[in-house]
Structure 1
């Protein structure tokens, strides 16, 4: 999640994104227009794997060269939004997610992909997990992005450290239990911190895990009738809890730590716990890149007032309508989301690295079940338990667990998390950060009241 993560959008792109429709979406066409395509994607491990595998498999089989541009998450979101919203047409395929798909589809910016998926007998559209297919579909029920991998969120912990301290981590912990454990294991080994929590600004960086905490603490960004709640007691309690936990027992350099930094900290044994995307587990269990492979335990996303709190995300392949290479682009996307590609990753890179969380059949593959024995079942159940229509204790004005599904949220979430990141850095207070955030949220709310 998927995740996630928005830099401030350039003026022209922001203006286009807030429009209810766009003109001049581009003919798109179905001609290959050449034998190469440009693909823009986020710099997560699964994307780095496909960049390594494509030439000797997809390109060799199809003759289609794929030019990859890989960017950190915040930069990716900025770049892809500018390219698609302004109809620049630089890329034929881009990774986006459940937040963008319904909004961008409504604006007419994305190619419909169901027709391609249904014509490809090997793709097996019916095998896609229902939450993933639904999150990437338009109001017409058609797919407008093809999932590369899906994720929820959970707690990862170093089993050796917990055993040394005599700690049993509950399978469904509360956030207070997590905080208590973080205090006990902080410094358990030289230089080791108790927990890693994202502090890097961005609606999908710091904003993703924080919003799940807000949800389960009883808070929300907006009430059902669009009353801003950023400075509400529940939102404030959750944010204070998060900021206090990461300041007391979190990773070094927390205000600059996002998914990638926390993955590195956990895999190198620098932190005892990490709350983040379920998709991280495959990298943690790869002995070629992780010092803690085979030593990690997994628990469901911590809760307070709700039964579950994991987010729901899919990094997915989308085709802008501006592409002139729709046939070649669709061939790449279908391959990259296929069962065959999962098998290729398993055989070439290791079965724990399979981009899972999108297909039911993945969880029936013997080799994958063995490699993912520690985390496969809890990942699948976390995805199935995520509730984007009702993730908290009150009704919501839109869908979304870790985001609010309106165009303005990319800017709002980024600006508010900039304030909260500053609180983590000790440059401001949580109260001041949320007062500033409340004013921004009230301006957004005016568009919907």
Structure 2
């Protein structure tokens, strides 16, 4: 979702927070996704205003798919609507190479070297940082320990998809409002296709071969989509085709999911007693695998970046340094406890005993992030980078269309076979139009 911040920054405030030369007040418009960590940031902007006199902030919140549409249109047309954009590891290297983003030159106090190496590398082009991570993530399985015990099962640290299905079947109790597993079904390249791309990788699949030929007609994708439709049809919640990250988070927090495979960032929300009714009954495991594939984890960061069209780059960087710096993490911890700290961006967080003692998921999250390999996301060689996406400009539109096909399959509007055939035809046509291989 998008959030627009209008930030009036006075000269005194800018000088104090980032050493910017005296200037007249500046209005910044910032777009951000409305996930829980960003909502928390919205609630803390008064702290930013207090530290920077003369600053006022106005928020506008939009859904995640709309965020991507809006900022992509603005950046591609040089629209200049935003001074700061919330974008991800998919966009940053592509837009950085196109010179659509302004490089970041962080202060020494910001401590760029403290950023996790995998995250920092994903946000850099030729060694230059083009976005600062607000939070980073991989993927893991979150599950109800009480329901797992009741089912007579023990979750392995590295489960297989076969085990996940067995556990989903035994934990499924719809008469009491509990569903065996919750997975993304909402169409979108960053919604259901993040899940399904990583799942296909774990079954040995890939989007394209080395000649950029689409692979949806191959067995790994057939196995992955057939498995997905089966497990969600039999053991998933109602309305799965409308459930994305936020919807599944709400389901899990209210005790309606036996298991949930999704982003590691959710761990802080499902174990926070202020947010979750099952906070003391949550266990964690690494992303699942299937025979012939590899672990279904991914690498992602929601980041703040400055579009080249912004005329307020210095002031924009002031805001970015505040929102993604160590001081902000400490502010969140002070206000809401260390468990609420934005995860997945800084080494110092995972070396902080105050955080690790309240975050039982910390070690597993760090392991998942560090083991993600976007440069080699499948068992076979591929011509692209990306564990849950393909880092080419055409992917955004193509994967959104393919996501709609698979969302229709899981809702029963089409069969898995028909969805795969349509995905293969669509991908073949669009890649040919785009001139691949190039």
Per the TM superposition, whether the score is higher than 0.5 is yes
TM-score normalised to structure 1 length? 0.90
Alignment of 1:92-241 (within 5 A): 92-113=83-104, 115=105, 117=106, 120-138=107-125, 140-187=126-173, 190-241=176-227
TM-score normalised to structure 2 length? 0.92
Q: Does 2:254 match 1:268? A: yes
Q: Which has the higher contact order (CA 8 A, sep 6+)?
A: 1
Q: Runs of 4 or more off by more than 4 Å in structure 1?
A: 29-33
Q: Which residue of 2 aligns with 1:337?
A: 324
SS in 1 for 2:373: coil
> Contact (CA 8 Å) 2:212, 2:383: kept in 1 or not?
yes
Alignment of 1:312-323 (within 5 A): 312-323=299-310
> Residues 217-253 of structure 1, C-alpha deviation per residue, up to 9 Å, x if partnerless?
1111101221111221211111111111111101221
SS in 2 for 1:133: helix
Q: For residues 316 and 400 of structure 1, what CA distance do their matches in structure 2 show?
A: 17
Deviation at 1:32, TM superposition (A): 6.5
Q: For residues 218 and 165 of structure 1, what CA distance do their matches in structure 2 show?
A: 30
Q: Which residue of 1 aligns with 2:49?
A: 59
Q: Which residue of 1 aligns with 2:9?
A: none
Q: Which residue of 2 aligns with 1:297?
A: 283
- Aligned-residue CA RMSD in angstroms? 1.7
Q: Which residue of 2 aligns with 1:9?
A: none
SS in 2 for 1:150: strand
> Residues 269-310 of structure 1, C-alpha deviation per residue, up to 9 Å, x if partnerless?
011100000000111111111101121000000001334220
User: Structure 1 residues 363, 438: CA separation in 2 closer, same or farther (over 3 Å shift)?
Assistant: same
Alignment of 1:344-359 (within 5 A): 344-359=331-346
Q: For residues 357 and 178 of structure 2, what CA distance do their matches in structure 1 show?
A: 30
Q: Which residue of 1 aligns with 2:16?
A: none
> Contact (CA 8 Å) 1:39, 1:66: kept in 2 or not?
no
Q: 2:274 aligns with which of 284, 288, 300?
A: 288
Deviation at 1:74, TM superposition (A): 0.8
Deviation at 1:351, TM superposition (A): 1.4
Q: For residues 266 and 368 of structure 1, what CA distance do their matches in structure 2 show?
A: 23
> Residues 37-88 of structure 1, C-alpha deviation per residue, up to 9 Å, x if partnerless?
2111111000000000011x11111233333332221111111111221111
> Contact (CA 8 Å) 2:186, 2:242: kept in 1 or not?
yes
Q: For residues 347 and 220 of structure 1, what CA distance do their matches in structure 2 show?
A: 44
> Residues 119-138 of structure 1, C-alpha deviation per residue, up to 9 Å, x if partnerless?
x1211000110110010011
Q: Does 2:69 match 1:81? A: no
Unmatched 5+ stretches in structure 1: 6-28
Q: Does 2:358 match 1:371? A: yes
Q: Does 2:316 match 1:324? A: no
> Contact (CA 8 Å) 2:272, 2:279: kept in 1 or not?
yes
User: Structure 1 residues 162, 188: CA separation in 2 closer, same or farther (over 3 Å shift)?
Assistant: farther
Q: 1:38 aligns with which of 6, 29, 35?
A: 29
Q: Which residue of 1 aligns with 2:14?
A: none
Q: 1:430 aligns with which of 407, 410, 416?
A: 416
Unmatched 5+ stretches in structure 2: 3-19
Deviation at 1:189, TM superposition (A): 6.9
